[in-house]
Amino acid sequence: MIKKNFFKKIYEIQKKIRVVEEKIASQYSKNKMRCPTHLSIGQEAVAASSGLALQKNDISISYHRSHAHFLAKGGSSKKLFAELHGFEEGCSKGIGGSMHLVDLKNNFYGSTAIVSNSIPIGVGLAYSLKLAKKKNLVCIYIGDAAVEEGVFFESINFSILKKLPVIFICENNFYSVYTHIKDRQPEKRKIYKLASAMGATSHLFTQDNPFKLFKKFDELFKKIRKNPKTHFVEVETYRYLEHCGPNDDTLLGYRKLQDVKKWKKKDPIDFSKKYLIKNKIFKISQINNLDKKITNFVDKDFNYLNKLKKPQFKNISKLVYKR
């Protein structure tokens, strides 16, 4: 049974991610964020539910659409905003940008711009946990296009063979940039079944009810910590905005506005709000006050940038690994 505090947290994390990314989208046109940014508005339920189910000592690693995973693992929105603006107060000292976030204090071991590039790193981290006989797991977030790269097959094969405490969470939003999955993969192929055929214990979850999704992740993570082996979870989701950037892209013609509206009608954050009120877990006034609190918090973190000095990057060479 999910405790009342967890109901609140699941909603709160989703909402915070949404407000943070809406702030980024609204400010992006000012050209002060000089890095490409991939927003996950519409996909927040996956990160929120899984992130809350992870323990602090569990490791997570992400891909180019990583803001939500960073925040859900405890990352600071203040440091995220600073990173996007190139300030040395950012989580990657201002030189990584949107696609290279890191928070080692919360065991978020980073994200990368190269599709599938974080997968072998995550598997390597899991191998180190096994060698050290630690009882934690590694959560590797990927997109649907990641399973089209050779390194995915090599890494999951190694992970299964070595019985590593790894969970792959595939956020299947159906598109790799502008190309639908039906034009990239064989007809009727199911990603989770592909992973199952290789030997992973596979699952197909839905994001419709984030509270049920949290419960499934929580139960699954406990199993992996107790009995280390490779699991794969596919969750069908959908991004509301363009692949890279803050705008609507339906005029490009590669997807229909009707499809976006269809997914928005079953928005997990809207569902969560109605669920909490309908089941009398929280009153409307309490949810509205929580929304205001989150918005004010995010505004405060964004306005923090006004206090920062223009980055000089005098010591940038010290941040580069050298042989």
Q: Name every residue whose Cβ is closer than 8 Å to that of residue 60 and which is 6 or more positions away in sequence.
A: 51, 54, 69, 73, 107, 108, 109, 138, 139, 140, 141
Inter-residue contact 210 to 187 (CB < 8 Å): no
Of 202, 255, 275, the residue nearest 11 (C-alpha): 275
Cα gap 297→291, rounded to integer Å: 10
CA torsion, points 39, 293, 305, 110, in degrees to nearest 10? -40
Can you give the pLDDT at residue 116? 94
For the chain, state the CA radius of gyration: 19
Can you give the pLDDT at residue 280? 94
Can you give the pLDDT at residue 309? 87
Can you give the pLDDT at residue 4? 83
Per-residue pLDDT of the chain (323 residues; tens, 9 = 90+): 678 889 999 999 999 999 999 999 999 999 999 899 999 999 999 999 999 999 999 999 999 999 999 999 999 999 999 999 999 999 999 989 999 999 999 999 999 999 999 999 999 999 999 999 999 999 999 999 999 999 999 999 999 999 999 999 999 999 999 999 999 999 989 999 999 999 999 999 999 999 999 999 999 999 999 999 999 999 999 999 999 999 999 999 999 999 999 999 999 999 999 999 999 999 999 999 999 999 999 999 999 999 998 777 676 777 665 55
Of 41, 97, 22, the residue nearest 242 (C-alpha): 41
Can you give the pLDDT at residue 41? 98
Q: Name every residue whose Cβ is closer than 8 Å to that of residue 69 and which is 6 or more positions away in sequence.
A: 47, 51, 60, 62, 108, 111, 141
How far is CA 255 from its chain centroid? 23
Of 163, 164, 172, 165, the residue nearest 141 (C-alpha): 172
4-302: CATH topology: Rossmann fold (3.40.50)
Cα gap 214→236, rounded to integer Å: 15
Inter-residue contact 233 to 192 (CB < 8 Å): yes
